[in-house]
Amino acid sequence: MGEYSSKAQSVSWLFHVSLKVLLVVGVTESSSECGMAVTPSTPLVSFLERLQESALESFGKSKLDPKTYVDLPLKYPLSVTQDAFQKLPRNANGSVSVHDLNRFIQAHFEDAGDDLVYLDPHDFVPHPVGFLPKVKHPLVRAWALQVHSLWKNLSRQVSTAVKAHPDFHTLLPLPSSFVIPGSRFREVYYWDSYWVIRGLLASKMHHTALAIVTNLISFIQQYGFVLNGSRAYYTNRSQPPLLSAMIYEIYSSTGDMELVKRSLPALLQEYEFWNSDLHKVTILDAQGCTHTLNRYNARWDKPRPESFIEDKASASKFSSVSEKQQFYRELASTAESGWDFSTRWMRNPPDLTTLATTSVIPVDLNAFLLGMELNIAFFAKVTGDNSTAERFLEISDLRKKAINSIFWNANMKQWFDYWLSDTCEEVHVWKNGHQNQNVFASNFVPLWMKPFYSDTSLMRSVVESLKTSGLLRAAGVSTSLTNSGQQWDFPNGWAPLQHMLVEGLLKSGLKEARSLAEEIAVRWITTNYIVYKKTGVMHEKFDVEHCGEFGGGGEYVPQTGFGWSNGVVLAFLEEFGWPEDRNIEC
**pLDDT value, residue 35:** 75
CA 385, CA 264: separation in Å to the nearest integer? 10
Average pLDDT, the chain: 94
User: 301, 340, 417, 543: which one is catalytic?
Assistant: 340
The 10s digit of each residue's pLDDT in 365-376 is 999 999 999 999
**pLDDT value, residue 11:** 36
- Segment 46-67 mean pLDDT: 95
**pLDDT value, residue 290:** 97
Cβ count within 10 A of residue 501 = 24
Is 574 known to be catalytic?
A: no
The 10s digit of each residue's pLDDT in 220-272 is 999 999 999 999 999 999 999 999 999 999 999 999 999 999 999 999 999 99
Classify residue 542 as left (phi > 0), alpha (psi -120 to 50) or beta.
beta
Q: Is the dihedral of CA 275, 214, 207, 113 positive or negative?
A: positive
User: 540, 543, 549, 574: which one is catalytic?
Assistant: 540
**pLDDT value, residue 32:** 55
For residue 37, name the pLDDT band (cuts at 50, 70, 90): confident
When mean pLDDT is compared across 24-38, 343-357, 540-554, the lowest value belongs to 24-38
The 10s digit of each residue's pLDDT in 13-33 is 333 333 333 333 333 344 457
The dihedral over CA atoms of 400, 446, 436, 429, expressed in degrees to the nearest 10, equals: 10
**pLDDT value, residue 423:** 85
For residue 522, name the pLDDT band (cuts at 50, 70, 90): very high
- Segment 61-82 mean pLDDT: 96
For residue 328, name the pLDDT band (cuts at 50, 70, 90): very high
Is 301 known to be catalytic?
A: no
- Segment 90-95 mean pLDDT: 94
**pLDDT value, residue 27:** 39
**pLDDT value, residue 7:** 34
| CA distance from start to end of the chain | 45
**pLDDT value, residue 49:** 98
**pLDDT value, residue 10:** 36
When mean pLDDT is compared across 13-27, 75-89, 115-129, 427-441, the lowest value belongs to 13-27
Whether the pLDDT of residue 122 is over 80: the answer is yes
- Segment 363-391 mean pLDDT: 98
**pLDDT value, residue 62:** 86
pTM value?
A: 0.94
When mean pLDDT is compared across 35-44, 460-469, 482-491, the lowest value belongs to 35-44
When mean pLDDT is compared across 17-26, 46-55, 540-549, the lowest value belongs to 17-26
- Long-range contacts from 264-267, C-beta under 8 angstroms, 24+ separation: 264/376, 264/379, 264/380, 264/383, 264/385, 266/217, 266/220, 266/221, 267/243, 267/372, 267/375, 267/376, 267/379
The 10s digit of each residue's pLDDT in 400-432 is 999 999 999 999 999 999 999 988 889 999 998
For residue 550, name the pLDDT band (cuts at 50, 70, 90): very high
Percent of all residues in the chain with a pLDDT value above 90, rounded to a whole number? 92
Can you tell me whether residue 185 is helix, strand or coil?
A: strand
